[in-house]
Every structure is written in structure tokens, then in C-alpha cells.
A and B are shown apart, each in its own frame.
Chain A
């Protein structure tokens, strides 16, 4: 099987005061479909930056990046956006639900950007509410939910369009451990069902849910290892 993601010598730098300042250095990695990969490393190592490049939110970098065998580095903005929309879901540390929308409406957002007809949208949202056991919360606003519940909705929102890849940047960072475990279990189940997952975490315990751990430091991939023993 071909890798889902292939990166060759990918580099990212910011200009600061006239001099270049590298955030990612010569990143070369392959991620297979169905893998559950964990990025770890100290703060400022470049994990979030790498995630946003994988998620095609960032296009200011050099090197080669193939997603589903498509050369992302050669695609124009429109093509990239299509690739992103069709295949990638995001989960954020601080959930990033939109405050003035209900749970239902928050879940609808990704669909609204994909021209899904209204009827189908409603049924997809209902499905996902069902799957995540949050039907009762559908009319609540984010600030009426606990952190764990909000992140549940966050994951549901990432999953609703049935993406091939979920990118999760410290998804449990704002949660206490019981809630965190629940979310990680959820990722595990999604991964078991075939979704590729890339997470960023500081927690060894969370890393155990994945197959592989990639350590970043100062923009360099410093080590790659199999997860010692998978939980779940």
C-alpha cells in the first residue's frame, strides 16, 4: 500500500529581523493509511506547525509533500483546499467550538462548506450525535458544556465528514485525565475503524494509544519509535 503522507526534506522558516529562522528542518517521514501517529517534543519544537502543514492550512514551506500520492507542493490553492476539505478533520486543544452556535450548528459547519444538501446535512449531524451519544446536547451552546463534552463535540465535528485523516493538536491538553481518557478511547475506536490519526501530545500515557511516536526538537525529527505497549 502507498503511504497516505510522504514528506521529503520539508523545511519551514520565518523571517525575523532580516534573518531566516527555521521552525522545521528537513522533515522526511511517511505515514501509512490506518496509522495512529503521535508527535511529541518540547514546546516550540514545531509540532503545531508541522500539523498545520500536513493539514494544508500552511503553504509557505519548501520541500516535497505527497498526500494520497498527490504532490501538495505543486498544487494550487484551490486544489489544496479541496484535498483538505475532502480528507482532513481537525481537533484542537481548546476545542474551538464557535460560541454563538449550538452544538448542532457547530457540527454542521464542515458540511456547510462542502455543499452537502440540507436534508443530508441534518441526517449526518443526527447520525453523529447518535454515535457520540450527545443527542441531548444538540441545542446547547458550547459554554453550557463541560470541557470533556466540548471536546467530544470537537471530535464529532472532525469526524462528521468521514475524513481519512484526523489531526489533533493536544486534544486533551485542557481536560482532566478521566475526560482525556474518554477522548483517547474515542480516537482509538476511530483508528480501529480505519481513520488515520496524527496527534500532538505531551502525555506519555496518551502516546500509548498510538502506534508510533515521532519526537521533534527545534524543528528536527530527533527520534522515531514504536509505542511501547498499546493501550485500549
Chain B
């Protein structure tokens, strides 16, 4: 014990004495460990930490799976059948996102919330902070409107009123009774401000076409997930057979809830974790390098210690103590870095990373950091320690040992730097590919002009689901008419979902064509627009006509289709005049194709364009609408006040929300990519910097080792340029080795990125060439100073007797 204490004190003294070494080593470690800790905190918070619900391991998400399309939402009837008949699962609950308008007291505002079936809170096993959650009978329409508030909304809008229970507030135009307030720790789904019962009417209760509901539940304590899976499959098959042809070959598939919750961000987060692991490895290699460099100076001391009777164990102990102490001080500083980095990450992150808000440096993170620190300490301590074992007593006390030790060291240190370069290249290659994808995405033609467009959400509060009717169409017309009078407004329109921001779809059939098997039924995105929409968004009309005033509710139903749909279903023909039936939304609705328009990206720049059908809003009213306004000035927000005023003039209780320019919408669609790209780029930059420091260090060491050789060469006629070139060549040889290994690694590892790339393949030669060239450039710079110092070698030393 005293030995260790002595070693510890010795280490601190050595660090204090060698300030240059200490500051470089600790700074490097602080960055490497800080980044690692920060990213592990994210991994921990988002992927690992058990959910805060009761018995989270039994929670499942139940999804519909279809052979030909990807969305996992349930229809209500399917959900109800499975909930009724299952023996392996208990307490299934269905919910769907909803937009709520709060009005009456104070500013009208829109908040995001969820409509949930009665079991929702029971499934999650949470109790309210005040009041109660929903009763089964409240899940029926007409049973009186009730709501449960999130803690956040209760605090913000209701001033934490302790007597809120039983009070009413106007939600979507209806006076609703507040029956409960949830605790602050309950934030599910993440963005939910309030919950109301689903309270579906009969048409939706029995509907097997509208896939609207997310289903969660629990596996019974005596059952397993595997049993639940096979049972769900059987139940789905039964439903399929009883309802021939609606969703052929669909099945139901339960998965652990947590896994599904984070499924979308799992890959990017794990990739970041990998990247930061690389940074940490490079850090370790660099510290090992620094320690090795110091050891040359200390080889004599170690020799003397051995001569004085220190056992190898004792020496090893001392060296490892040193490296581990170093690691721990570095990690301590790293925690500060991590704390800062985490705040930056939360700031930078797009809002849609689940659970990220819960991120913190907790005991799990500390434990992980402790473990990694100890491992890192051993890792970068072991090379110098092994080197020390090569101490041969006889030689160690003679000067000449320096040269032989030097050669072995040089090999070891070169190997370390080669691995640093290889690791850095892999990170650079990943960054390069992601950047390449990102740049391509920015250039993707979207099919409309996003410049000078203001968008805002108009959720019509007085409408109900079954009555998205003429009333809402009239309100929209009134609003549009007023908004068009606002100075600075060029065009104003409505649409049910914005381009590139996702939307709704339906199966359809073409009238007069032989019926297809249900599993082959084509589907299309649905957009509901007004007559000016094409002009507002600058979407080209390719054939036929636009919508006009004529396409009123009473007029024959008209639709526009996009180029892709026309090419697919009317190749070489004119679709105008054909009739198409929309199958999924309530009773089948048939319309005549009156025009053909250009393709617009529906789900973000990276997603392909599918078929799209446009309806005029009077003929197929939508509850959810966006107002899109093309402005004359380059600052679309300049017309906002005027628009708000006109909306209020039509209906004082009509809130406007989600005010964004179309360019912001575009930015948000790329936000997650931009975020991961930024982080990976930071890590790549860090790793390149560290590798450059490594290269410079080894080259300086090499020059020191070979001072005499340089002198001899100069005496034999070498010019400064020759010596400079010699050193540069050495550095480049090392770099190329590293590059080669790195490229091989990158070819393998970038395949993991495939899912995050756009328009570029993993292993893209051009990207790889560019990042290699970049790394070579950096290595050249790193060799520059050592090479210059080599040219300053005095050739006379070659003449002097050593």
C-alpha cells in the first residue's frame, strides 16, 4: 500500500515538474474523455436507461406489419379485436396524436396532445398528481368532454392551480372538464401537453382501413414476448380471414416498447458512440506516445532503479500508477468538458430525439467513465511499461542504450501513429460520406419554390372529426379571402400538409380498370388544397387545368394527380378525364382527374416521390390545415402580424401556431442529419488534430534520433532540401500506411452508415480520395516543423567523436 502511495506522490510530483507534458496530456485526455462521457450519457439516457414506467420490461408496442408498406399504426377495429381476444398480453391501449386549441381564458393557443383509450394510463402504470385519469365510460362519444393535463401545461397556462380538478376550460371549442394533472416526471408521448379520451364514434370503431392508432400494452407476467408474438400472428390471421381482402397478409407484431421508442435514433446514436470510441482510442495512442517519449529521458532512471534492486513488478506498478493517475486527472477534467458538451448537445439537437431531455451525468455514466478511465490508463500505460521491461541492466547504464532503445521505440511509436491515422481516416471517411449526402440533399429539386413562403398551422377548433364539413370549408374561404388583402402577400393558400413534412395517404382504384387483388391495391398521398395553391408554391401544371371556384362542394368531384402517378398508371397516355376512387377515408370517394402537376417531395428531400392526389378543399375538407403565403418581400415573417389580425377578424378564437418559413420547414426536415453530421464532424476534427499531434511528435522524435545521420548525409553532400525531403518521406510513409489500413477499415465500417447516406454509396471512391488527400495534407503540415528542424542540423556533429 505504501508503495502505491509513494508511486502516486511521485507521479504528482513528476507531473508538476513536467508542465509541458502534463498540460498536453491532460488537455488531450480531457477532450477525449469528455467527448466519450458526453456521448455515453446520451446513449445511457436515450437507449439504456429503463423507462420510468412501472415494470418497463413488460411494456410492448404492438405494430401492424404489412408486406408492402411500412407504417405501423393500427386500425381501431383490429386493435379492439386483438385487445379482446389476447391471452398473452394484458391492458392494450391505443392513442393518436391530436392538436388541441385552448381558448376561453387567455390567448387562444394550439398545443400538441393525444387522444387515448381509457387503458392508456393504466398500461403505463402511472398515477396522476392531482385528480384521476380516464374512466372506461369516458371513452364513448357524448359522455362529456374531459381532459388530463400535463404538469407543464398545468404550470404554464393554469398557474399550478391546486383546485383545478373539476374546473372547465374550452378545448377545441367545447367546454371540457379537467379531471387530472400528471406529475412532472411523466412526459409521454414526449411532446404531449394534454390527453383526452379517444371517444370514437361507430364509423371509426369498426373501421379497418384507417390506420391511425399507436398501440401499447404489456405482456402478462406469466407469458413471454415470444408467446405474445406467435399469438399476435394467429389473431391477426383470424382477423385477415374474417375480413377478406382489406389488408391482405397483414400481421401484428409486439416488440419491447423501449426498443421501438428509440428505433429511429438508435443507429445515429450508436454511430456517434463508435466515433467517439475512435476518438478515445486515438487519445490513448497519443498519450502512450507522449509517455514513450518521456521514457527515453527516463530510461536511465529505470535502469538505476533496477540496479538498486527494484523488481519488475515494482517498476510495472509504478509506471501503471503513473498512467492511471494521469487518466483519472484527465477524466476529472473530462467531466467538466462533458458537462459543457452535454448542454451544447441538447441545445443543438433537433427536438425529436426521444428522452434526450433526461440526459445527465448520473451514476451509470460515472461508473462507465470510471471503468473506461481505468482501461484507458492501462491501455496507454502498457506500451511504455513493456518498453521498460526491455531494460537490460548492463546496457541501461551506458549511453549507447539510447540509440537501441530509440530504434525499438521509434517502431512502437510509429505503429501507434499509424493506428491513429487509420482511425482518423475512418472517421473522416464517415464524415465525408455524410457531408456528401447532406450537400446532395440540399440540392435535391423539391418540386416547389420554398423561398419567400410563410407557413402556419390553422387547426379549426369548432370542427369535429366526423364533421370536417362545409362549415370548416367556409371558415377557410373566409380566412383566405381576408389574408389575401394583407399588404405584402402575393399569394395565399391552404393545404392539409406541407410539402417535405410528411402527410396522409390512401389506397385507390382506377375506375374502369380490372379490379386488382387487394394486396396489389396502389396507394397515394393525399393533399387537400385551394385553387391558388399551385401558384403559391410554384408547382407547375403540366396538363389539364387547376382547381377553380367551380370545384365547390356541390360540383362534380375533381382531382389533380402528380407526374409520378401519371407515368405509373397512364404511361404514354393522358390521364385527364380518367376517374379515380379513394378507398380508405370513410366511404369510397370518386373523382375525375382534371389536371396533371409536377412532382413535389412529400416526406423530405431524401424520400422518393410516390403517387399523389390533390383534392379541392370544399370537396374533401380537412381538419388540419396549413396556411401558406408567398410574400413579396424576402422576409416572409414581415406579413405575420397582418395575417394574424385578419385570422382573428374571422374568428377571435382561431389560434395560429407553428409559424415557420418554408425554408425553416426544410431545415427541420434535415435537422437530425445536420445534428449527427455536426457531431461526427467535430469528432473527426478532433481525431485529425490528435493524429496530427501524434505525427508531429513522432517525427520530432525521429529527427532527434537521427540527428547524426542527417549530419553525415550533409557532410556527404546532402542539401537542406534533401534532408527536408528525407524527413517528409518518412512521415509520408507512415501516413500512407495509416491511410491504407484506414481505407480498408473505412470500406468495411462505412457500410454501417448506408442507412444515413443519400445519393452516395458507402466506400464512395471520390469521397475517400478527398478525405485521404485532406489527411495527407494535414500530415504534411504536421511533418513540416520537424522536417525544418532537421535541416538545421549542424553537419559538424558528424565529425565529432561521440
Contact = CB atoms under 8 A, between A and B. Distances in A.
A109 B726 CA distance: 12
A92 B717 CA distance: 14
A93 B801 contact: yes
A98 B799 contact: no
B709 interface: yes
A52 interface: yes
B102 interface: no
A85 B713 CA distance: 11
Given A85-B717, A170-B801, 18 more contacts: A49-B796, A52-B795, A55-B715, A57-B715, A57-B795, A57-B796, A57-B798, A81-B717, A81-B719, A94-B802, A96-B712, A98-B713, A109-B716, A109-B717, A113-B722, A157-B716, A169-B799, A173-B801
Contacts of B722: 113
Interface in B705-724: 708-709, 712-719, 722
B400 to A, nearest CB: 12
B800 interface: yes
Given A96-B712, A98-B709, A109-B713, A57 B718 contact: no
Interface string A98-117: 10000000000110011000
A51 interface: yes
A112 to B, nearest CB: 8
Counting contact residues on chain B (CB < 8 A from A), the size range is: 10 to 19
A209 interface: no
A196 to B, nearest CB: 18
A52 B717 contact: no
Given A98-B709, A113-B722, A51 B716 contact: no
Interface string A46-76: 0011011001011000000000000000000
B717 A94 contact: no
Given A98-B709, A98-B712, A113 B799 contact: no
A110 B716 contact: yes
A84 B717 contact: yes
A187 interface: no
Nearest to A95: B712
30 contacts: A48-B800, A49-B796, A51-B799, A52-B795, A52-B796, A52-B799, A57-B714, A57-B795, A81-B719, A90-B715, A90-B716, A92-B798, A92-B799, A94-B801, A94-B802, A96-B708, A96-B798, A98-B709, A109-B713, A109-B716, A109-B717, A109-B718, A110-B716, A110-B717, A113-B717, A113-B718, A113-B722, A114-B717, A169-B799, A173-B801
Contacts of A169: 799
Contacts of A51: 799
Contacts of A90: 715-716, 798-799
A205 B709 CA distance: 31
Contacts of B718: 109, 113
Interface residues of A, number: 25
Nearest to A81: B719
Interface in B590-608: none
Nearest to B715: A90
Interface in B782-802: 795-796, 798-802
Nearest to B800: A48
Contact of A58 (B709, B716, B719, B796): B796
A80 to B, nearest CB: 11
A131 B796 CA distance: 29
A114 B802 CA distance: 28
A79 B708 CA distance: 24
Contacts of A81: 717, 719
Contacts of B716: 90, 109-110, 113, 157
A81 B718 CA distance: 9
Nearest to A109: B716
Nearest to B712: A96
Interface in B557-613: none
A109 B796 CA distance: 18
Interface string A12-53: 000000000000000000000000000000000000110110
A117 to B, nearest CB: 16
A51 B796 CA distance: 10
B150 to A, nearest CB: 72
Contacts of A85: 717
Contacts of B801: 93-94, 170, 173
A162 to B, nearest CB: 13
Contacts of B796: 48-49, 52, 57-58
B721 to A, nearest CB: 10
Contact of A48 (B708, B712, B799, B802): B799
A155 to B, nearest CB: 13
A40 B801 CA distance: 16
A52 B715 CA distance: 9
Give the most central of B708, B715, B802: most A CB within 10 Å. B715
Give the most central of B709, B716, B800: most A CB within 10 Å. B716
Contacts of B800: 48
Contacts of B802: 94
Contacts of B709: 98
Give the most central of B709, B722, B799: most A CB within 10 Å. B799
A169 B722 CA distance: 25
